[in-house]
């Protein structure tokens, strides 16, 4: 193997044992803010999912760094999505606390991201529920129905759920 050394690619990989690495150590690694914040949140969620919100607040400075990078808002939305799902967070009080931990302008951007992410998660939940209800009521759904549900607005989903109770067919649900 030694003779192959010069011919092999050398890769430097940082492998972390998340449970054994502190949040502070993960926050301090030489990596982009999205990576650091993601590792901190994953580490926290692995042992104490209820503390994910506190970890976001404790690492508000990384959130600020992340928002200053290209695509930072979208990256934060991904971390936030994971945090809400894994940590079973209520986004409203958490967003207020994180907003207070940041400067006012950045706090508003974070609040907007929280709101948008919460709306998307709600719509995904509505879509999943709609598919499950239709499946239970009418049997297997074809790709066209699934696509229609996937493209629906929150308002459409609400209308369809209301129609579902009296519907005798999928056409009745979708108002066709």
41-81 pLDDT, tens digit per residue, is: 888 888 888 888 888 888 989 999 999 999 998 998 888 88
The string of pLDDT tens digits covering residues 89-99 is 777 777 777 77
Q: What's the pLDDT score for residue 9?
A: 47
Residue 61 is assigned to a structural domain of this protein: yes
What distance in Å separates the CA atoms of residue 117 and residue 80, rounded to the nearest whole number? Answer: 7
Residue 10 is assigned to a structural domain of this protein: no
Residue 77 is assigned to a structural domain of this protein: yes
Alpha helices by DSSP H, the chain: 23-27, 33-47, 52-58, 60-67, 72-87, 91-101, 104-138, 143-151, 154-164, 170-174
Residue 168 is assigned to a structural domain of this protein: yes
**63 and 56 Cβ atoms separated by less than 8 Å:** yes
Residue 151 is assigned to a structural domain of this protein: yes
For the chain, how many structural domains are there in total? 1
Q: What is the pTM of this model?
A: 0.67
Residue 13 is assigned to a structural domain of this protein: no
Residue 6 is assigned to a structural domain of this protein: no
Q: Rg of the Cα trace of the chain?
A: 22
Lowest mean pLDDT among 1-5, 82-86, 144-148: 1-5
Q: What's the pLDDT score for residue 145?
A: 92
């Amino acid at each position: 193997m030694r003779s192959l050394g010069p011919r092999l690619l050398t890769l430097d990989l940082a492998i972390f044992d998340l449970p054994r690495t502190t949040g502070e150590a993960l926050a301090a690694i030489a990596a982009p803010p999205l990576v650091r914040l993601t590792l901190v949140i994953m580490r926290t969620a692995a042992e104490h999912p209820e503390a994910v919100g506190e970890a976001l607040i404790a690492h508000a400075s990384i959130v600020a760094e992340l928002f200053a990078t290209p695509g930072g808002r979208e990256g934060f939305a991904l971390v936030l999505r994971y945090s809400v799902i894994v940590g079973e967070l209520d986004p409203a009080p958490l967003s207020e606390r994180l907003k207070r931990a940041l400067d006012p302008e950045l706090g508003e951007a974070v609040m907007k991201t929280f709101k948008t992410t919460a709306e998307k998660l709600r719509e995904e939940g509505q879509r999943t529920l709609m598919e499950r209800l239709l499946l239970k009521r009418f049997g297997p759904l074809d790709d066209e129905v699934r696509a229609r549900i996937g493209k629906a607005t929150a308002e459409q989903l609400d209308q369809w759920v209301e129609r579902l109770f009296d519907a005798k067919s999928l056409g009745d649900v979708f108002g066709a």
